[in-house]
Amino acid sequence: MSAQPYRLPSGGRVDRSRPLNFSFDGEPLTGYAGDTLASALLANGRALVARSFKYHRPRGILSHGSEEPNALVTLRKDGGRVDPNTRATMVELHEGLHAESQNRWPSLGFDLGAIADVLSPILPVGFYYKTFMWPASFWKRVYEPAIRAAAGLGRTPELPDPDRYQHRHAHCDVLIAGGGRAGLEAALAASADGQRVIVADEQTQWGGSLPEGGEAVQQAVAALRSRRNVTLLSRATVFGIFGHNHAGVLELVPPVSGRDLPRQRLWQVRADEIVSAAGAHERPLVFADNDRPGIMLAASARMYALRHGVAVGRQVVVATCGDSAYAVVRDLRAAGVNVIALVDVRSEAECPDAEALRGLGVAVYTGHTILGTEGRKRISKLHIARVNSRQSIALACDALAMHGGWTPAVHLHSQARGKLRFDDALDAFVPAADPAGFRSVGAARGEHLGRFTPVRSLPTTADPETVKAFVDFQNDVTAKDIGLALREGFESIEHLKRYTTTGMATDQGKTSNMAALGLVAERLNRPVPQVGTTTFRMPYTPVTFGALIGAHRGALFDPVREAPSHASAVARAAIFEDVGQWKRALAFPQPDEDLHAAVRRECRAVRETGGIFDASTLGKIEVVGRDALEFLNRMYVNGFDKLPPGRSRYGLMLREDGYVYDDGIVARLANDRFHVTTTTGGAARVLAYMEDYLQTEWSDLQVYLTSITEQYAVIAVQGPKARSLIQPWLDIDLSDQAMPHMAVRAGRFDGIPCRLFRASFTGEIGYEINVPWGHGAHVWEMLCERGAQVGFVPYGTETMHVLRAERGYIIVGQETDGTVTPDDLAMAGMIGTAKRDFVGKRSLARPDLIAQGRKQLVGLLSADPDLVIEEGAQLVADPNQSVPMKMLGHVTSSYYSVNCGRSITMALLAGGRERLGQTVHATVPGGFAAARVVTPVFFDPQGKRVHG
């Protein structure tokens, strides 16, 4: 088929009866089912597939796996799906795939950015640091935008990702990373006696480096498939090992037309044992112009021929410093690939198989090195010479397969906190000892690897300063760059990595790290282990944010909690605010009102007639048991001994360090039963806090705590006419004699069982109707409808805040910040002095907590009654003092109060109660505003209105 000129006439594990159409840079091409994008591009003779990062040099496919540094492409799909920086070697070909090359303009073949390659003598390593220094004013406006524009490979998608990502959790006895020979053997052994085994392999086909999919592989996979205790995941990479053998596995889900499958799956696997059978990475050789398209790793050339039936070239040369290349030559020839020569830098005596290959008709050059290559969009010529000789031989070729030795993939071992040991015979770091619950097998442990003689860079007679011999293909780092960095003093491998960027970016130096390390060791004349190695961190291969986020986006990003009145509030066009996960109505503006106007109207209405407020989000805890009273006496500052059933009291709770933790109402329903409320935000932590003391300090107390936050809806009715609004629905006598302020009664509201609190957070007569949550919406709506006829309004949290501030009631978390004592709030009077102990009592006697000059809660009245000082504004005594000024405190709450006819402010002020009547100055935009210190009660100073 001429459309795929490099496809071998037979062989490979592709399905030639299923051609697939795809495109590359807009050109229609075909491949077969079983191809990767890389193998299909090679079959079509596409050697040039990318431009390099810094110099924009033409680049081809280097490898066949996840270590690929060069062949990064953008996948473009329908509906705005864009997937940049995808490794062509890891993309399974499918019908209609559209791939584009990156980092080139105007086209891959003619890229103006390649000027960087010509200018490379003035773009050495560290160029950015050395050049873009002066003037400093250029950093942000000139240099950074210019560098940012030039940086990066693919472009970030601009539209939201329309794909779906799935999360799976799994538990197993053994997780095996890698489905090559070692991984499959480990899986067979581990699963034989019924252990639950998961095998994950990043390739589409099992067998790892056994591309022929030999019978042994087929049998092993079939045996594993037949075992119910085995899960086989192909296209799945174990990318991270976390604490306690928790592994992250990213599975790519191939698209199936007509099915709505997730694009990727993130598996979180908890395994008793993790086995790394991750194999080894082949090293490239370092020589002049070793990055031309058509130059690739030898094992990859073999893989493309045997697995995909693709010849990587028509005249292939293999270059090596190790034995593995000889088998590659034999396999390539057997598959029908025309290998014309083998170049081995080792001497004839070190190359035992050389003569045999010559017998097959391959020109074998032992003791030869590579001086350079030619060819623009594909290698066309190779110049070799006997080591230390100037007499070069030119070999015409269109592909070069290179083998520079092996590097065991110890990444997962290192992530599992395993230590490494340098093995001189292997010239590589290998696992020193298996960490607990983790072991490496096969090539990942350094076993079964072909013998090689490490060569840091191939010997050459050329001036090393004129040679571009790439060590790190993805970051365009050459041997010369590493030499320069060393001369400039970057000898620590971690420094060198950051200065030259070698080993960074999407491939994390899988093919380049050992080459760089070896070069450094050689130049510094130190053994490799003394140079050390950089840290292997997760992820092993890139993981998309989409996979990590999974379904947790949009509406599912965080749970939303809705109060019973929510639907009604939405219908009434309420403005909402987020309070933790709760949606709370801030105010209910009329069509012609803004927020401020709505709050003023609501504030006025509550004090003139009445208002209805959904307080259901308050935390509620039922405290029951023989010792419930004793327990609450210990948890709150208040003494509850004299609190009879049917009555409630405002309660203040401290932390053990003496600072205010939470507040609420403690209502006694029966001798051994209390209903306590907490702040909305404190609901969960106050319960946990109480449980802590109950379980760990006072486990002798017989008390049971139950969260009833979501059992009871709370509709508050506040205002001078509150009683007359609700009385008709209640079977409870609301008269002041029968139900005074802070009384609690059980009864029925419109037939619904309710707990009725007479309580007020506004300073008006108030009732809080607690009904089962499911009835809350009904009660709310009924009250709003009937209330509207007599002047009641629904009101929101902003109005609630203003009304309570008018009366000087605190909000924990607003007037307090974790450093405020009851006395600071002028609430020391509610402390039960007769109590021997309660949480925080001892700390109230700490020297700092009884010191003079502590910040105390005061009111402020700004000189300009229309000025609302901002919350958080700092307070000073003298605005004309020199900076840094002495800060006396800050504003905690500040509103415009329509009921007071002016602004009102609460503040924490050093020695505040001694400054009553004085003037302080608050920071405002542009300067300071004067304010008079007053007692923090701005409305109904005698507090008479709550009693009716």
Partner 1 sequence: MLLIRCPYCGPRAEIEFRGGGEAHIARPIDPAATSDAQWADFLFFRSNSRGPHAERWLHAYGCQRWFNAVRDTVSDRITTTYKSGEPRPR
Place of tokens 């021997």: 836
Our CB check for partner 1 shows the closer of 594 and 691 to be 691
| Cα 775 to Cα 749: distance, rounded to the nearest angstrom | 10
Rounded to a whole number of angstroms, the minimum distance from the CB of residue 841 to partner 1 is 7
Q: What strand order describes the sheet that includes 611-614? A: 744-749, 752-758, 766-772, 712-718, 611-614, 793-794
Sole window of 373-381, 609-617, 840-848, 879-887 interacting with partner 1 (rule: CB under 8 A): 840-848
Cα–Cα nearest to 282, from 415, 401, 366: 401
Rounded to a whole number of angstroms, the minimum distance from the CB of residue 703 to partner 1 is 14
Q: Using the rule CB under 8 A, which residue among 436, 462, 570, 738 binds partner 1?
A: 436
711 is a site residue for partner 1 (CB under 8 A): no
Rounded to a whole number of angstroms, the minimum distance from the CB of residue 490 to partner 1 is 31
Our CB check for partner 1 shows the closer of 50 and 686 to be 686
Q: Using the rule CB under 8 A, which residue among 9, 554, 644, 847 binds partner 1?
A: 847
DSSP structure string for 56-99: --EE----SSTT-SS-EEEEE-STT-EEEEEEGGGPBP-TTEEE
Cis peptide before 644 (omega within 30 of 0): no
| Cα 113 to Cα 824: distance, rounded to the nearest angstrom | 67
Q: Using the rule CB under 8 A, which residue among 18, 155, 246, 947 binds partner 1?
A: 246
Number of residues that bind partner 1 (CB under 8 A): 24
Cis peptide before 822 (omega within 30 of 0): no
594 is a site residue for partner 1 (CB under 8 A): no
Q: Which residues contact residue 284 at a Cβ distance below 8 angstroms, ignoring those fewer than 6 apart?
A: 62, 290, 297, 402, 404, 470, 473, 511, 512, 515
Rounded to a whole number of angstroms, the minimum distance from the CB of residue 837 to partner 1 is 6
Phi/psi for 407 (5° steps) reads -125, 110
697 is a site residue for partner 1 (CB under 8 A): yes
Our CB check for partner 1 shows the closer of 436 and 788 to be 436
Q: Using the rule CB under 8 A, which residue among 696, 789, 852, 882 binds partner 1?
A: 696
842 is a site residue for partner 1 (CB under 8 A): yes
843 is a site residue for partner 1 (CB under 8 A): yes
Q: Using the rule CB under 8 A, which residue among 263, 566, 841, 915 binds partner 1?
A: 841
Q: Using the rule CB under 8 A, which residue among 692, 733, 736, 878 binds partner 1?
A: 692
Q: Which residues contact residue 34 at a Cβ distance below 8 angstroms, ignoring those fewer than 6 apart?
A: 12, 13, 14, 15, 93, 204, 205, 307, 308
Rounded to a whole number of angstroms, the minimum distance from the CB of residue 669 to partner 1 is 23
657 is a site residue for partner 1 (CB under 8 A): yes
| Cα 442 to Cα 763: distance, rounded to the nearest angstrom | 77
Q: Count CB neighbours of 916 within 10 A.
A: 13
Our CB check for partner 1 shows the closer of 692 and 785 to be 692
Rounded to a whole number of angstroms, the minimum distance from the CB of residue 415 to partner 1 is 13
559 is a site residue for partner 1 (CB under 8 A): no
Rounded to a whole number of angstroms, the minimum distance from the CB of residue 733 to partner 1 is 40
710 is a site residue for partner 1 (CB under 8 A): no
Sole window of 57-65, 211-219, 236-244, 744-752 interacting with partner 1 (rule: CB under 8 A): 236-244
Cα–Cα nearest to 378, from 722, 59, 91: 59
835 is a site residue for partner 1 (CB under 8 A): no
433 is a site residue for partner 1 (CB under 8 A): no
| Cα 676 to Cα 683: distance, rounded to the nearest angstrom | 10
Sole window of 190-198, 212-220, 833-841, 869-877 interacting with partner 1 (rule: CB under 8 A): 833-841
- Radius of gyration of the chain from Cα atoms? 38
Q: Using the rule CB under 8 A, which residue among 9, 26, 243, 644 binds partner 1?
A: 243
User: How far is CA 270 from each of CA 243, 246, 318, 433, 922, rounded to the nearest angstrom?
Assistant: 10, 5, 43, 22, 56
833 is a site residue for partner 1 (CB under 8 A): no
Q: Using the rule CB under 8 A, which residue among 451, 495, 846, 947 binds partner 1?
A: 846
- The helix/strand count (H/E) of the chain reads as 23, 48
Q: Which residues contact residue 259 at a Cβ distance below 8 angstroms, ignoring those fewer than 6 apart?
A: none
**447 CB burial (10 A radius; 0-12, 13-18, 19+):** middle
Our CB check for partner 1 shows the closer of 674 and 838 to be 838
947 is a site residue for partner 1 (CB under 8 A): no
Our CB check for partner 1 shows the closer of 112 and 684 to be 684
How do strand 927-934 and strand 855-862 relate by DSSP bridges?
A: antiparallel
How do strand 712-718 and strand 660-670 relate by DSSP bridges?
A: unpaired
Rounded to a whole number of angstroms, the minimum distance from the CB of residue 705 to partner 1 is 9
Sole window of 242-250, 514-522, 525-533, 780-788 interacting with partner 1 (rule: CB under 8 A): 242-250
Our CB check for partner 1 shows the closer of 593 and 657 to be 657
User: If DSSP states are collapsed to H, E and C, what string results for 917-930?
Assistant: CCEEEEEECCEEEE
Q: Using the rule CB under 8 A, which residue among 688, 746, 863, 887 binds partner 1?
A: 688
How do strand 561-562 and strand 582-587 relate by DSSP bridges?
A: parallel
Cα–Cα nearest to 679, from 666, 662, 667, 691: 662
- Residues of the shown chain interacting with partner 1 in the complex, contacts defined by CB under 8 A: 242-246, 270, 417, 436, 656-657, 688, 691-692, 695-697, 699, 836-837, 841-843, 846-847
